[in-house]
Amino acid sequence: MWLVVAVTTGVLLALSRAATGPLDDPDPARQRPGYLDDGALPVPAPEVTGGIPAPGRRAVVFFVRAGQLGPLCQALSGFRPGPVVDMAVVLQEGGGRCPQGITVVDDREAELAERYGLPTPRDGGPPVGYAVVDAAGHIRYRTLDPEVASLLGEVSTMLRAVS
């Protein structure tokens, strides 16, 4: 029985390591860690666009590539993170808008992602993830999250943590 446990877990571990995607963090421990103020954080949040982030208001800044914009906009249309929360989407390649009136900022050079300190994913391209900014204007959480459109509940959890 014990041999089966050891071999099965070893095989599953190997399979899970092979299942990482090109948009994942090279260090899986740094992806979606679920706690605030990791490493150098908190640090002042750079301005994304006029009014975001704004004093006294929390913000979540999403960083996406063209392929993630549609699903994210659709998911955000039903996303209610609570009062005094601003949202912005930073689009790092291609062009597009969110039909729901959510602010979309073009950032083809991925400068904003760099200034927000998001890590470079495994494929070396612009990061897909998000940063959470507190009401004092500090970045408290940042992570790569290629599946953010389907994991907005987790974004809510991190936003609640900075309230």
Partner 1 sequence: MTGRRSGTDDRKGLRLCLWCLMAVVVEVALFTSYQGHDAKFHWFTHFFVGTSAALLAMAGVALRTRRAVPLPLVWLLSGHLFAMLPDVLFNAGVAHERWMEVFLGHISSHFVPGRNVTWFLIFLVCLAAYLAVVFHVGEGQDSATRTRRR
Q: Which is nearer to partner 1, 12 or 84 (CB)?
A: 12
Cα–Cα distances (Å) from 155 to 8, 19, 33, 55, 94, in that order, read: 33, 24, 12, 20, 25
Count of residues that bind partner 1 according to CB under 8 A = 36
Nearest residue to 123 (alpha-carbon basis) of 83, 65, 76:
65
Beta strand 58-64 with 85-91: parallel, antiparallel or unpaired? parallel
Give residues 29-88 in contact with partner 1 (rule: CB under 8 A).
29, 31-36
Is 151 among the residues that bind partner 1 (CB under 8 A)? yes
DSSP secondary-structure letter at 119?
P
Of residues 82, 101, 123, 157, which one binds partner 1 by CB under 8 A? 157
DSSP secondary-structure letter at 147?
T
Give residues 2-31 in contact with partner 1 (rule: CB under 8 A).
2, 5-6, 9-10, 12-13, 16-17, 19-21, 24-25, 27-29, 31
- Closest distance of CB 147 from partner 1, Å: 5
Task: Provide φ and ψ at 137, rounded to 5°.
Answer: 85, 25
Is 134 among the residues that bind partner 1 (CB under 8 A)? no
Q: Is 62 exposed, middle or buried (0-12, 13-18, 19+ CB in 10 A)?
A: buried
Is 152 among the residues that bind partner 1 (CB under 8 A)? no
Of residues 50, 55, 124, 153, which one binds partner 1 by CB under 8 A? 153
- Closest distance of CB 108 from partner 1, Å: 26
